Structure formats: C-alpha cells, structure tokens
Amino acid sequence: MAPAALIASARALWRRNRLSGTALAILLLLLVLGAFGGVLPFGDPTRLGAGPRLAPPSLAFPLGTDELGRSCLPRVVEGIRYTFLLATIAVLITAAIGTMLGMIAGYLRGGADQAIARLADILFAFPALLLGLLVAAVLGPGSIGAVTVICAATLPLFIRVVRAVTLGVTERGFVTAAEVAGASLWRIIGVHVLPNILGAVIVQLTYALSIAMIIESALSFLGLGVQPPIASLGSLLRQGSVYLTIAPWLVLSSGFTLSLAIMSVNLVGDALRDALEPLRGRSLT
C-alpha cells in the first residue's frame, strides 16, 4: 500500500475516533509549547522574585509561583521542552539501533540471533532506576546519563518487536527472490525488509516515547536527570513535593501536564496500531 493510502487510512480512523483525534491535538499543542515556549510571552522561567513566593494561581500567574517567586507557567513550559526533547532524542537513537539489530537477528537467525537476543535479555535484567543509579555513578547526573538510561531501557523492546515482525517478512516470496537474484544483505534489509516493518516500528516508537518520558521524569525526580536551573517535569514534581500541603499547585501543574502528555502519546499509538491492523500480513512494496 502506498504511503498516501496509509496516511488516508490513518486520517479516516482519527475521524471515526474522536478520542484519538483529541489526543493528537493535545500532543501537537504540547509539542508547539515545548518548541516555541521560549519565544512566547510566558515570562522568564529563571527570573527570581517575579511574584510573591508560593502564590496561588491568579490572572497574573496562571499556575502560581514557586518557593523563589518564579512563575510556574514558563517553568512548566520549559519542563515540557526538556522532557520531550530528552525522551525523543533517546527514542530516536534507540529506534535506529534497535531496528537494525532486530532486522539482523530476524533475517540471519542462528548465532547472530542468539547473541542479539542475549543482549536484550541482559538489558531487560536491569531496572531503569537501578541502571540510572549506575550510570549516574559513572557519568554523573545530567542529560547524557538520562538519555543513556532511556536507550538501555527501551532498546530490548525495539529489538524483540522488530525481530518478531522481521521473521514473518523474511518468509515471503519477494525476499526469497531477492536472495536468489544475489542481492546483498544490506540491500535485502534496507529495500525489502525495512519498508514492510516500518509500520510496526512507528507504533513501537510511540509507546517507547511514553516509556521514555516516564523514565526521564523518574530520574529527574530523583535528581539524576536534568540539573537546575533547567527544569523538566520530573524535577518540577520533586521541587513541588516539598510544599505539597501548602502549595499543591506546584505538583498539580507539572503532574497533570506529564500525565496528559503520556496519555496523549499512548492514545495516538493505539490509533496508529488500529490504522495499521488491516495491513498485517500484506506487503507494502
């Protein structure tokens, strides 16, 4: 099926599924806020004493202020940017590596399949938070460590999903014809296998993005992610938890935004999966 037909199928599904369409609109809104929030008139997220300390939400400060008098609205917008940025970078790196390893394992099988499968099992054995502590001990807390942990935690999922889909594709006649014609390994993988598993990769990428945001927020909540004065949604949750009883808006603003982002990504992933469901068992080439 041509890409245009695939896009039309997805649009038709979203017209029928208003919940997924709403989730897509919310996700796009959050992405726009994260990408362009720095130039929008929300204020400076690092400005101290912009208002009274721990002031509740008002017209001047829609999300209130924190313990240093900083407006929470620009800080939440900054948190959206860094949470999405780190999660997206990590997932794209994982998608590239995991898709390649999964296709190699599913196509070559044998020793290569066993070696890649054992690598995935080893990575599965480490909980994300424990791995975060180990990485922080070596690299120190920060964005690089958070991206490393997200990649290690989501890589086994990509490998297993891509390997399973590749096993089905390699049994098809056009792959056998390419082998008989003398096509190289990389040509078979790049031209014949990859286009036919791309739908599964895209769906897995959306689910991995939601997992990545959870991991990044958990690491930042523990102080292992982005460091002050930069804010992420997880670090805002950590700072607000200290004042939960007297200033609950600090936690509610960042927590609600994070929940909304994860829910939107998952609903969009469900819609993509449903849109691609009729394509299972058919070649896209």
Residue 119: which domain range? 16-33+71-277
Residue where the block lists tokens 């056998």: 176
Residues 285 and 275: their CA atoms lie apart, in Å, by 18
CA atoms within 13 A on the CB side of 147: 14
Instruction: List, for residues 166-201, the tens digit of each pLDDT value.
Output: 988 888 888 888 888 888 888 888 888 888 888 888
216 found inside a domain? yes
Q: Which residue has the tokens 């609600």?
A: 256
- 3-class SS at 85? helix
Res 21: pLDDT:
80
Question: Which residue has tokens 């889909």?
Answer: 165
CA distance 274 to 131: 34
The verdict on residue 54 lying in a domain is: no
Per-residue model confidence as pLDDT tens for the chain (285 residues)? 445 555 565 566 556 677 878 888 898 899 898 888 878 888 888 888 888 999 999 988 999 999 999 999 999 999 999 999 999 999 999 999 999 999 999 888 888 889 998 888 888 888 888 888 888 888 888 889 899 999 999 999 899 999 999 988 888 888 888 888 888 888 888 888 888 888 888 888 988 999 999 999 999 998 888 888 888 999 999 999 999 899 999 999 999 999 999 999 988 888 887 776 544 444 434
- pLDDT at residue 10, rounded to an integer: 55
Structure tokens, 146: 């958070």
* 144 part of a folded domain: yes
CATH number of the CATH domain containing 99: 1.10.3720.10
Look at residue 39 and tell me if it is in a domain. no
Number of domains into which the chain is organized:
1
Residue 208 is encoded by which pair of tokens?
Answer: 């991995």
pLDDT score of 1: 45
Q: Establish if 22 belongs to a structural domain.
A: yes
Residue 282 domain-assigned? no
- pLDDT tens per residue, range 50-89: 889 999 999 889 999 999 999 999 999 999 999 999 999 9
Query: What contacts 119, CB < 8 A, 6 or more positions away?
Result: 101, 159
